[in-house]
Amino acid sequence: MAALVVVVLAVAGAFSDDGDDAPPDPTTTPVPAQESDMPDGEPAATAKPETTTVRVGGRPTAISTGIEGVWVADSFSSQARLVEGTREEPIAFRLRGAATDVSTTETGAYFALPEQQAVERRELEDPQAAGEQIDLEGFPSVLAGADGVVYALSDRAVEAIDVDTGEVVDEFRLDGFGSGLAVGDDHVWAAVDNREVVRIDPASGEIDGDPVPVPEVFAVAADGGFVWALAASGELTRIAPETLEATVAPQPVRDALDVAVGLGSVWVTSSRRSVTRLDPGTLEPRGDALPVGDEPASVSVGDEAVWVANGGDGTLTRIEP
């Protein structure tokens, strides 16, 4: 999804080159408590979320929480970063080109390089070492990894990369232009032509079942037994993976940019410098939106916290639910 957001931000002139090498400047700000009952007997979210701002410099537009820390891509330069802690200086390294997205697996961090028509892999324990370039047929924009495979959304297809061999082992054709990608429930999910979400069987490479109509859809996320589709209108659609039945959230998030799922909630960022936490059972917002940085283009959920990449001010926001 980061690639689509970056185009919008670039046209708006939201970024500048200042602060690319600025030192970390973390600050901590408490936000109001939020309460909601979780589905399936999960405990209510009663703790006050705490936000921490980490300055990384540059224009962070895509992130992935994984082994070793938070990996940061910059769609406007070849500079990438690894954030290991909120009060430690990020590790900076240069890729072969500007990366529109990043995904991590147990074998490495993978960066989508559309201008190079490739994906670059970096070692988790030594990101500054020379990376491995994996050439693709198309121009990758969005990545998603799971079960030994990294999937790259390239134009009108999804290319599958075997993480053990570093080779492209399959290609799934789409019936339109893809903008969002996710992996969940043993399937690959793609947003196509800003009008529908398709379920792809990775074993056959075929679209499995009828497409799910979602007007203006541009991003998808998968976790917790559901697939979540975010539309340009701010409406969030919850899709049951088995039946492909869809339910639309009752309250749209205005000026939505990205969606992620985890830690018992659905997280939607907005260009209004905020992230909204929604109850996955009721689809209702949990309290007021949480403040983040400028142009929060990407959100990723880790084991203990939610991270937001704020491309407009060169920072990351860490949220402890």
DSSP 3-state helix, strand, coil percentages of the chain (rounded to 5)? 5, 50, 45
Contact predicate 225/243, CB 8 Å: no
Q: How high is the mean pLDDT of the chain?
A: 88
pLDDT, position 67 = 82
pLDDT, position 18 = 40
| Predicted confidence (pLDDT) at residue 288 exceeds the cutoff of 50 | yes
Q: 261: burial class by Cβ within 10 Å (0-12, 13-18, 19+)?
A: buried
Domain count of the chain? 1
State the CATH number of the domain containing residue 11.
Answer: 2.130.10.10
* pLDDT digit string, tens, across residues 139-160: 999 999 988 999 999 989 999 9
DSSP-assigned letter for residue 181: E
- Which residue range is the domain that position 130 belongs to? 2-320
Number of Cβ atoms within 10 Å of the Cβ of 203: 10
Residues shown for the chain: 321
| Residue 284 pLDDT level (bands cut at 50, 70, 90) | very high
Distance CA 36, CA 59 (A): 34
Which of 222, 190, 225 minimizes the C-alpha distance to 208? 190
